[in-house]
Structure 1
Amino acid sequence: MWLGPAAALAASAVVLIGVRYAGAGGSGTVDARIGAAVAGTVPRWRRAALAVDFLGEPAGAAVLVLAAVALCLVLRRPRAAVLAVAGTGLTVGATKLLKPLVGRTIHEGYLSYPSGHTAFLTAFALVPALLAARRLGRAAGALLVLSAALVAGAVMGWAQVALSAHYPTDTLGGWCTALAVVPATAWLIDRAAERAAGRPARTPTG
């Protein structure tokens, strides 16, 4: 299944970027260039950036997850409801564990790598994408999942860089964290559910 290699590749990227910027307290060359380009969008789109940023705050994230859980239960997709909670929760938890390990800082001491906001929105977008992917062919399903992750990660990543909350590579790390954690979580949920039902495991979650 392509999800396994994709998750492994994403996890490797998280580690490599983390090692590259471990203990750093400033932006690298790539960060500076991307940051300069994004800065030009701030005056006109600051309110939009703040609105997107709110989705990654505890209150905004809770609203999104609760709404997703309610919808999944209405549609009789209990495993999807579990994934909405566990996938996003474990992803954000992973970023919180990684931050002190990497030790990269922004604004005089705030831990910045990887971006929890970017990781959360990417993880949240992966839940419906994984559900829809199982109804499609392998290629179409992979394209849908990666597209959903890319759009969510890019939108939140832009907001974080525009608001100077993170370096661009922090957001990339957050995006990769979600791609590593959510598929693994979906696989574990499916495996546990199918074992309990005495049937072979299926992925992604349904």
Structure 2
Amino acid sequence: MKSFATALLNKIEFPVLLAGLVIAGGLWGLEELMEVARATTPHAFDTEIMLAFRQAGQPDVPIGPAWLEGAVRDITSLGSTSVLVLLTTAVIIYLLLIRRPTTALLMFVAVAGGQVLSSLLKFEVDRPRPDLVSHLVNETSLSFPSGHAMLSAVTYLTLGSMAARFLPGRTTKTFVLGLAILTTLLVGASRVYLGVHWPSDVLAGWCAGFAWAMLCWLVARFLQRRHAVADSE
């Protein structure tokens, strides 16, 4: 049995194994965080982290210099629906122009599917927005999971992994993927700073977004190996 498991692991490529671990970890984390979100009172780490972004004793005043709030607003807009839809549409049109319709369809399914999944999770958990601190931007939707965190993870990671397929050199690929991850993390952190999400909302968005993006990547890789998606399409 041990030799069989060893042989099986040897046949699995490291990127595929890593993607599988990300999916499993993301689903486990999402399940745990759903329990936190359903609790009648906020978890201690939610309140402590959120208050850490405010001046001591002043829940309406964020930490940092005056320009920081504006900068964080700009960063959070990178995960807004309008920006992500515009970006996704531009990429899909470009892919169609260079005659890669299957890749364009995969991009659409990844982002649109992420949006549907995010909406379903919000209605399932039905968690209201935090009222511990003032909101620095106006939001009316439900809180769990953070749509900005989840959809930025789906969109930027899908774009990053797609771009990495065509870029030369491991260093360039690593840079692009690292930039996608950094953008996703900054967008999520900005939601807590602005007071519109509990930290557990953002963590859940990252868990669901990373898992969904990796699942879509595995599907694209499988189709590529089956010649449905080819570099010379």
Q: TM-score category by the smaller chain?
A: 0.7 to 0.9
Number of aligned residues: 198
1:165: Cα distance to partner? Answer: 1.3
Contact (CA 8 Å) 1:24, 1:103: kept in 2 or not?
no
Aligned amino acid, residue 150 of structure 2? A
Q: Secondary structure at 1:111's aligned position in 2?
A: coil
Amino acid at match of 2:149: T
SS in 2 for 1:105: coil
Q: Does residue 103 of the first structure (1) align with residue 126 of the second (2)?
A: yes
Tell me whether 1:165 sits opposite 2:196 in the alignment: yes
Considering fraction of residues, name the structure with more helix: 1
Runs of 4+ with deviation above 6 angstroms: 139-142
> What's the counterpart of residue 55 of structure 1?
78
Kindly provide the amino acid, as one letter, of the partner of residue 179 in structure 1: F
CA distance in 2, matches of 1:135, 1:186: 14
- After superposition, the CA RMSD in angstroms is 3.3
**What percent of counterpart residues are identical?**
24
Superposed CA deviations along residues 114-161 of structure 1, whole A, max 9, x for unmatched, are: 10111111111112321244468xx97996686345312221112211
Cα gap change, 1:23 to 1:104, in 2 (>3 Å): farther
One-letter amino acid of the counterpart of residue 171, structure 1 = V
2:103 to 77, 80, 84: 80
Normalised to the residue count of structure 2, the TM-score between the two structures is 0.69
Match of 1:6? Answer: 22
Counterpart Cα distance in 2 of 1:11 and 1:141: 29
Over alpha carbons, which structure has the higher Rg?
2
Contact 1:133–1:144, Cα closer than 8 Å, also in 2: no
1:102 CA drift (Å): 2.2
The equivalent of 1:150 in structure 2 is 181
CA positional deviation for 1:14: 0.8
Q: Unaligned 5+ residue runs, structure 1?
A: none
> Which stretch shows the higher mean deviation, 46-55 or 145-154?
145-154
Higher mean C-alpha deviation, range 61-70 or range 75-84: 75-84
